Amino acid sequence: METDTIAAVATAMSNSGIGIIRISGEESIEVADAIYRNKNNERVLKNYKSNTIHYGFIYDEDEIVDEVMVSVMKKPNSFTMEDTVEVNCHGGILVINRILELIIKRGARLAEPGEFTKRAFLNGRIDLSEAEAVMDIISSKNETALKNSVKQLRGSVHRKISELRNAIIYEIAFIESALDDPEHISLEGYSDKLYDKVNELSYIIEGLLSTSENGRIIKEGIKTVIVGKPNAGKSSLLNLLVGEEKAIVTDIAGTTRDVLEEDIKMNGINLHIIDTAGIRSTEDIIEKIGVERAVQYLQDADLVIYVVDSSVSLDENDFEIMKMIKDKKSIVLFNKSDLNSEISLDELKKFLNNDVIIIRTSTKENTGMDNFEKAVKKLFFSGKIDLDSEILITNLRHKQSLQDALESLNMVKESLKADMPEDFYSIDLMNSYASLGKITGEEISDDLMNEIFSKFCMGK
C-alpha cells in the first residue's frame, strides 16, 4: 500500500506555460518508460542516473502527444524518497490530462489528495514540526475532493451506477445465502443465468466508459449558462450547439420551464451548457420555480450567454438580467438578426460593461455561430475563463473505478467459463461492487448482510 506507484499533476492545472506530472513509487520509472521515448525513439529512462533531466516525447501508442523534459530521481533522492519521475510538458489542460491518463493506463494509481506529502513525511523527508500541517493538508484536501466528486457526478450517471450496484449486490447475496444455507437455497443452473447478467452489466459499464471520453460522467467543462427573457431563442441556441433537438422550441414564450444540461466540445474546449427558463416575473408557479433556478445557475456560472431578442424592445426583464450579469464573464448574442431590429447595438451597450462581447446571431438561420465560437475560444485561452482542474481529476478517478469494476466483472466471466464454483467469483463480484461504490462515495459496511437478510429467507 505504501509502495505502489502513484501519479498526479504537481503544478496548477491551467492553460499556463508548463505543467508537471509527478510519478512516485517502485514502478515509476517503468511506468514512465512505457510512454516516453527520447529523440532517437528509445525507451531509456531506466538507464539514466538519478537527478538527471532528459528531452524527448510522450507517446500514446505511436502518436506523439507532447514534447517534454523528463526528470528522473532515484530513491532516496526525491521529495517522497521513492523512485520518482517528473514529466514537464506543455501547460495545456487537455495535454496534461491526457498524459496523466496515459500514466494511469500504464499501471500507476491516481494519487489521493495529499498523498505525496504523506509519503514524504512517512519516509522521513519532512520535518517533525510539519506533521500537523501535513495532516491538515490530507484531511482538508480529501474532504473537498469527496464533496466535489459526488457533486460533480451527473444525475443520470449516479442513477445508473446505483442500479448497477443494486443488481450486483443482489447476485452476491443470492450466491452467499445459498452457500450459507445450501439446504434452503439452490444454485442449480444459476451460472448460465449469471453469465448473461454479468454480460449485461459489463455492457452498461462499457457504455459509461465510452461516454466518459467526452467527459459525460461528471458535469465537466466550463459552466456555461444561457439566459434571456422568454422566447429570446435560448433553446434554439442550445439545440444548435448540441446538434440535436434536446430542448423543445416553440413560439410560445415560457416553453422551457426547467433547466436542461448538456456537455459539448467546442474547439477542444468542454462546455457544460445549462439552458434555463426565460427570466420574467410570472404568476405561473411552475414557471416561477424555473425562473428562480435560472437565477441560481446564473450566479454559479463561469460564463454567461445572454440571448437578447433584437426584434422586440428592451423591457424590465432585460434590465433585470443585465443587472445580474454585471460581474460575470459573459457573451451577449444579439439574436433574431434575421428579423427587423427593434433595438440597436449602441442602445444595448449602454447597459453593459465595456468588455462584454456582443455578437449578431440568428439561431433560426444559423448565422453568427462562428463568431460566437471564436469569442469563447478567446476567453478561454486568454485565461479569462478556466476549467476547474479538480473536475478533470475527478473524472479520471471515476474512470479508473469504472475500469476496475469492469475488470472484476471480466474475471467473473472468466471464472464462469472455466466452470469455477460460485464461491470463487462472488469475490470478484464484490470487488466490482466496491469499485462502483467509490464513484458514488459509498462505504460497503454491512450492505451484503442487509441484502441477504432482506431478500432471501434463511432457513433455521
Residues forming contacts to other proteins in the complex (CB under 8 A) are 1-2, 112-115, 118, 121-122, 128, 131-132, 134-136, 138-140, 142-143, 146, 172, 176, 179-184, 187, 418-424, 426-427, 443, 445-446, 448-449, 452-454, 457-460
* Whole-angstrom distance, CA of residue 79 vs CA of residue 76: 8
In the complex with other proteins, the residue whose CB is nearer, 1 or 285, is: 1
In the complex with other proteins, the residue whose CB is nearer, 138 or 312, is: 138
In the complex with other proteins, the residue whose CB is nearer, 86 or 451, is: 451
Three cell numbers at 92? 495545456
* Whole-angstrom distance, CA of residue 287 vs CA of residue 298: 16
* Whole-angstrom distance, CA of residue 99 vs CA of residue 58: 8
- Cα-based torsion angle of the residue sequence 34, 36, 41, 43 in order, rounded to the nearest 10 degrees: -50
Least Å from the CB of residue 17 to other proteins: 32
Least Å from the CB of residue 408 to other proteins: 11
Burial of 300 (0-12, 13-18, 19+ CB in 10 A): exposed
Least Å from the CB of residue 417 to other proteins: 11
The reply to whether omega before 113 is within 30° of 0 (cis) is no
- Cα-based torsion angle of the residue sequence 146, 150, 151, 152 in order, rounded to the nearest 10 degrees: 100
Quick one: which of 156, 220, 140 has its CA closest to 397?
Answer: 220
Least Å from the CB of residue 138 to other proteins: 5
* Whole-angstrom distance, CA of residue 263 vs CA of residue 211: 11
In the complex with other proteins, the residue whose CB is nearer, 124 or 207, is: 124
Q: Residue 55's beta-bridge partner residues?
A: 69
Least Å from the CB of residue 430 to other proteins: 8
In the complex with other proteins, the residue whose CB is nearer, 63 or 183, is: 183
| 264 C-beta neighbours (distance < 10 Å), count | 17
Least Å from the CB of residue 115 to other proteins: 7
Task: Give Cβ neighbours of residue 88 (< 8 Å, ≥ 6 apart).
Answer: 18, 19, 20, 53, 68, 69, 70, 71
Task: Give Cβ neighbours of residue 66 (< 8 Å, ≥ 6 apart).
Answer: 57, 58, 89, 90, 95, 99
Least Å from the CB of residue 11 to other proteins: 23
Q: How far is CA 241 from CA 23, 226, 237, in A?
A: 38, 12, 6
Least Å from the CB of residue 27 to other proteins: 15
In the complex with other proteins, the residue whose CB is nearer, 139 or 250, is: 139
Least Å from the CB of residue 158 to other proteins: 20
In the complex with other proteins, the residue whose CB is nearer, 212 or 408, is: 408
In the complex with other proteins, the residue whose CB is nearer, 183 or 300, is: 183
DSSP symbol at 162: H
In the complex with other proteins, the residue whose CB is nearer, 319 or 424, is: 424
In the complex with other proteins, the residue whose CB is nearer, 128 or 252, is: 128
Instruction: Name the 3-class secondary structure at 27.
Output: coil
Least Å from the CB of residue 97 to other proteins: 24
